[in-house]
Amino acid sequence: MTGTDVSPRRAQIVAAAREILETEGPDALTMRTVAGRLGMRAPSLYKHVVDKEELKALLIAEALRGMGEELRAATADLPPRAPRRRVLRAIASGYRAWALAHSHLYRLATEGELPRDRLPEGLEAWSSEPLVRAAGSQDRARAAWAFAHGMTILELDGRFPPGADLDRAWAAGIDALGGSGPRS
Amino acid sequence: MTGTDVSPRRAQIVAAAREILETEGPDALTMRTVAGRLGMRAPSLYKHVVDKEELKALLIAEALRGMGEELRAATADLPPRAPRRRVLRAIASGYRAWALAHSHLYRLATEGELPRDRLPEGLEAWSSEPLVRAAGSQDRARAAWAFAHGMTILELDGRFPPGADLDRAWAAGIDALGGSGPRS
DNA sequence: GTTGACAGGCTAACGCCGTTAGCCTAGAGT
DNA sequence: ACTCTAGGCTAACGGCGTTAGCCTGTCAAC
């Protein structure tokens, strides 16, 4: 009833959709191609999924889980009281790496409004928790998030000049945002 | 031959498209609705515009011009040697204000890849020039741009929590990024 | 003054999309 | 044995961008 995954057919559908999206891009993600990959016809999908928006919401949930895991992995082997700047650097590089490795999924999960009512409760917060903890204050967390997302999406969309050294732009932003937090 | 505007009919089409996009959103922007607003049928548009992508490129050009003007206006009445932080604050507030006032146009112009070959030469650079000049270094300019775009698009997409005080998040980012530039 | 080109409208239609209606069949439950 | 249902199917709808092909009014050239 709620958006959980239990049915195996549903899981197959999500897996097929994810593979199509990741390898062929969003234009290729149609109900017909997803069905085709499973050897069936588009209308049959509607026995398992209420509409395409739900399918996308399931993919967004996968993306949020993936990002959350990546950010945790990136900070896992840091010393417990590592300086903020170092934590932020680790998080930023995990964030960027995941996004570049799953660009279509990243775009799907970050552009447009989030279908929050179709996402597992708490997932969104869980996914961004490492960044929020590292930032030092709520305002800084939001600023850091905006910076990271901005850098990432502009890179994915090819907005920076061809030869731009993005590592340095990342470093400039992180060093600025990581400087000696105020309170909290 | 090149994407210039001279024909009056073209200008009408762009104006109609802009009005539809700004008032009814991207889903309403179809070749049929644009034509309808001018009392004609969709196929006739193709006598004036090569395809919908070109029409979108013309709207993106309008957006870039609008943003460029806004950023210049925002910094126009600043003292000539104002401190960087102050200039950045002015630019940020102009940037955000324009985006909120023209949200659909802003989204169109910033998401996905830029159709650079269909844009007037130099417009992209002209549009972002005020920010680049204010940032102090190329890396900081890119970081600041990413931050501003991130804040803006996340706000437009309703990604921040409902009651979030975004003024403070903006301030946190600007203060961090505007702090005592290194070289250049 | 006739003619011919052409700019700029039109209708019909194509192939794609998401989606609905309605049918059929295999297998499980009683 | 009978029934119910899960899960497939085809046909079709309306909307999208777009193309082909037609027609008419204007206007320059002879």
Q: Which nucleotide is nearest to B43 (CA to C1')?
A: D18
pLDDT of residue B179: 72
* Average pLDDT estimate for A139-167: 97
Q: Are B153 and B110 in contact (CB under 8 A)?
A: yes
Q: pLDDT tens digit string along A73-120? A: 999 999 988 999 999 999 999 999 999 999 999 999 999 999 999 999
User: Does the CB of A108 fall within 7 Å of any strand C atom?
Assistant: no
Judge whether residue A184 has pLDDT over 90: no
> Residue B80: CB partners within 8 Å, gap ≥ 6?
none
C strand bases under 7 Å from protein CB:
7-13, 16-22
Phi, psi of B3, deg, nearest 5: -65, 25
Q: pLDDT tens digit string along B35-66? A: 999 999 999 999 999 999 999 999 999 999 99
Per the prediction, chain A carries an average pLDDT of 93
Q: Are B126 and B61 in contact (CB under 8 A)?
A: no
* Assessment of whether the complete model's pTM goes beyond 0.85: yes
**By C-alpha distance, which of A161, A148, A8 is closest to A74?**
A148
Q: pLDDT tens digit string along B124-137? A: 999 999 999 999 89
**By C-alpha distance, which of A109, A97, A103, A105 is closest to A156?**
A103
* Average pLDDT estimate for B88-94: 97
* Contacts A153 to B, Cβ<8 Å: 111, 149-150, 153
Phi, psi of A4, deg, nearest 5: -75, 170
> Residue B144: CB partners within 8 Å, gap ≥ 6?
B88, B131, B134, B135, B177
**Nearest-CB residue to B179 (from A150, A158, A179):** A179
